[in-house]
Amino acid sequence: MVIHSLEKDTPLRAGKRRPLPAGPETAVYCKARDYSADTVIPLHHHPDRHQLVYAESGVLVVRAGMGRWVVPSTRAIWMPAGTGHQVHCIGLVQMRSLYISPAAMSQPAAGPSAVSITPLLAALIRTAVTVKQPYREDSRDGRLMRLILDEMQTLPVLPLHLPEPSDKRLRMIARQLERRPDDASTLQDWAARLKVDVKTIQRLCARELGMTFGQWRQQARLLRALERLAIGEKVIDVALALGYESPSAFTTMFKRRFGLTPSQFFR
C-alpha cells in the first residue's frame, strides 16, 4: 500500500524553480519521460509555462497546494504556471508533458485539475514528442501545435481530486484515512477521540473541504481504489481492502462517482 505524507503548500513553498529550454517564441513544448515504479519527482514549479501532465501509461499521484489528485493512465492533470507540485509514480509510468506559453491560451483554468484526454489529443501528443524545437508557426509542426491548443480548450474535468485540510484535527483524520482507508469510524467516534462536538467536525469539513465527512471519506477510498486497480489488483481485493461489504457495493459507488464501472474506466 502506498502511504502519502500530508504537506501544506504555500506561495513560499513552490519547490525548485525549473525553467524550460523553450524560448518565448515556442507556444507548445512537448517532452516524453519514462519513470520506474515509486519514483518521486520532488516539489517544483515551472515559472514561465503551464503544464499538462499526461499519463500515457501508469498512474500519477500529484500533490499541489492543499489537494491531491490521482491521475490514471490516459488521463492528465492541468498545472498552471508557477504552481508548486510533487509527483509520485505508481507502477511504471510513461509521462508525456505539454508545456504551454501563457500567452498562447486566452482562458486557461486558474487552478490544478484532472482532465480526460480525447483520442485525438492523445495522438497529437504522441506526434508532438517528435517535433524539433523551435518550430515555425507556418509549418506542419506549427499547425499541429495549434490543433493541440484547440483540443485543450474542451477537456472535461474529472472528479479525481481529494482536498486536504489545514486544521490539525481534520489532519489527524486524514492521516488515518491514508493509513487505513477501510476505517469505519463514525463522526461520533472521531468527536470522542478529538474531544470536540460532532457539529464542530461537520463545520470544519464544510469550511475546509467543501463536503461532508462521509463524502470526504468516500472520495479518499475511491481515489485509493484507482491507484490499486491501475496496477492490476482485482476488484474483489480492492473492494474488501477499502472496507466495502462486497465487490458489487464498491462497483455501484465507483460508477456513481465516475460514471463508469472499474473495468470500463481502465479500458
* pLDDT tens digit sequence for 162-185: 999 999 999 999 999 989 999 999
| Chain mean position to CA 133 | 28
Cβ-contact 2, 227 below 8 angstroms: yes
pLDDT at 223: 93
pLDDT beyond 60 at 2: no
Strands 75-79 and 113-116 come out as: antiparallel
Query: Could you read off the pLDDT of 114-155 as tens digits, one per residue?
Result: 999 999 999 999 999 999 988 898 999 999 999 999 999 888
- Grid coordinates representing 192 are 470522542
Of the candidates 114, 98, 109, the one whose C-alpha atom is nearest the C-alpha of residue 222 is 114
Q: Phi/psi at 233 (nearest 5 deg)?
A: -70, 150
- Grid coordinates representing 253 are 459507488
pLDDT at 3: 31
Of the candidates 14, 141, 156, 41, the one whose C-alpha atom is nearest the C-alpha of residue 97 is 41
What is the percent of the chain with per-residue pLDDT over 70, rounded to a whole number?
Answer: 93
pLDDT beyond 70 at 13: no
Strands 40-45 and 16-17 come out as: parallel
How far apart, in whole angstroms, are the C-alpha atoms of residue 86 and residue 158? 19
pLDDT beyond 60 at 4: no
pLDDT at 22: 62
User: Which pLDDT band holds residue 9 (cuts at 50, 70, 90)?
Assistant: very low
Average pLDDT over residues 74-78: 93
pLDDT at 12: 38
pLDDT at 168: 95
pLDDT beyond 90 at 16: no
Q: What pTM was estimated for this model as a whole?
A: 0.83
pLDDT at 80: 94
pLDDT at 19: 67
Residues in CB range of 99: below 8 A, 6 or more apart? 20, 22, 28, 29, 30, 31, 46, 49, 50, 51
pLDDT at 257: 92
CA atoms within 13 A on the CB side of 118: 13
How far apart, in whole angstroms, are the C-alpha atoms of residue 9 and residue 149? 29
pLDDT beyond 80 at 1: no
